[in-house]
Amino acid sequence: DRQSAGRRGAPTGRSADVERYFPPRDAQGGRSGGHRDGRRRRGGSFAGQQISGGAGTASAQEDNDIQRGMVLDTEKCIKCLRCVQGCKEENNTPEGHFWMEVFRYQRDGEEYEDPTDSESIQRPCQHCDDAPCLEVCPNNSRFKSEEGRTLCDYDTCLGCAYCEVACPYHVNAFVHTDTPDYLENPEESEDFEPILEGTDGEFDGAKRDENDRWVSGAPPEGSCSKCTFCAHREQDDELRGTTACEDVCPVDAIHFGDMNDPESDPNQYLEQFDDDETFKLQDDISDPNVIYVGEDPSEQEVTEVPGPTTHEDRGLEEVDPSH
């Protein structure tokens, strides 16, 4: 049932089911931390050179010089949720859909007087090199962009939600509809301008990529949507190589850029950390292009912390992604 699948997948703002998002090693059959395998050497030739045990840079898409990726510092994050709000306003996503999430947890044996004192981890799409969503998409709607993003062509998405089921990070969400008109009349999709409850105005970026695929803006009803690493900004000379979540973060906890460029902001930021201070989430499954700084929750005994459950509880206020 597609609508039931959507209810399961749509982000709700609750705190994380810790074992679901950060399965311990014994539950993953010896899964490796991101700082152990699948990394590239710092200061060397980044594109196409994969070694075991290298330091914190993400792997590249084959035959391409650019690999967009992100470094997220869990130690700096203050759980203000500006990244969540900035993403929502930038991409004009439907009500209840959050492409960036901040999950809270506590280490077992530790108590916090206030939930805001707990540990946290940010969760955008990981834009994996080995993305399971690409493997299961029956219509080849999921694809890798020239910059290494994992994107969806909304013109051809069937709304089957296979990507939602396959993703180990649970970042995909079905956009509900009773009758997806654009699927009945695909030729009209170029003029389809969805205005969905809970969004803040029109999307003013480029909805189509250089190959005329509909990849950005509010996702149409009847499709599956997720974080795009602000793909529409790639066509803007001033915004290229940036994301809304990075722009609005007040503590410099988000670093986005080309993971194949040793001089890029995320790679330069990683220079100050040792291997055991960084990790990837479940990188033995999908080789993600998001690197975290801090302690890996999957290597600890942790418990979820009750978090905000509604838009108001989140304390989300208007955020201007350009500032």
Which residues sit opposite 150 in a β-bridge?
Answer: 144
> What mean pLDDT is predicted for residues 14-43?
41
Of the candidates 256, 187, 182, which has an alpha carbon nearest to the alpha carbon of residue 219?
Answer: 182
Look over the chain and give the mean of its residue pLDDT values, rounded to a whole number.
75
- Give the CA angle between residues 299, 125, 193 to the nearest 5°: 160
Q: What is the pLDDT of residues 87-108, one digit of tens each?
A: 998 998 887 788 999 988 887 7
**Quick check: 61 and 67 in contact, CB under 8 A?**
yes
Q: How many CA atoms lie less than 13 Å away from 112 in the CB half-sphere?
A: 18
pLDDT of residue 198: 39
Quickly count helices (H) and strands (E) in the chain: 10, 11
Q: Is the pLDDT confidence value at 44 over 50?
A: no
Q: How many residues does the chain have?
A: 323
| CB atoms near residue 164 (< 10 Å) | 24
The letter for the amino acid at 225 is S
- Residue ranges and CATH numbers for the domains of the chain are 2-314 (3.30.70.20)
> What mean pLDDT is predicted for residues 241-252?
96
3 state SS of 312: helix
> What mean pLDDT is predicted for residues 237-246?
95
Q: Is the pLDDT confidence value at 212 over 60?
A: yes
| CB atoms near residue 197 (< 10 Å) | 7
Give CA 133 to chain center in angstroms. 13
**Quick check: 138 and 158 in contact, CB under 8 A?**
yes
pLDDT of residue 186: 52
Q: Is the pLDDT confidence value at 116 over 60?
A: yes
d(CA 205, CA 212): 14
pLDDT of residue 115: 59
pLDDT band at 240 (very low <50, low <70, confident <90, very high): very high
pLDDT of residue 124: 98
Q: Is the pLDDT confidence value at 268 over 60?
A: yes
pLDDT band at 150 (very low <50, low <70, confident <90, very high): very high
Q: Can you list the positions of beta strands (E) in the chain? A: 68-73, 101-107, 119-123, 142-144, 150-152, 173-174, 224-225, 254-258, 278-279, 290-293, 302-304
Q: Is the pLDDT confidence value at 279 over 60?
A: yes
Give whichever of 76-85, 168-177, 178-187, 252-261 has the largest mean pLDDT: 252-261
pLDDT of residue 307: 61
Higher-pLDDT residue of 177 and 150 is: 150
Q: Which two tokens stand for residue 163?
A: 């990507």
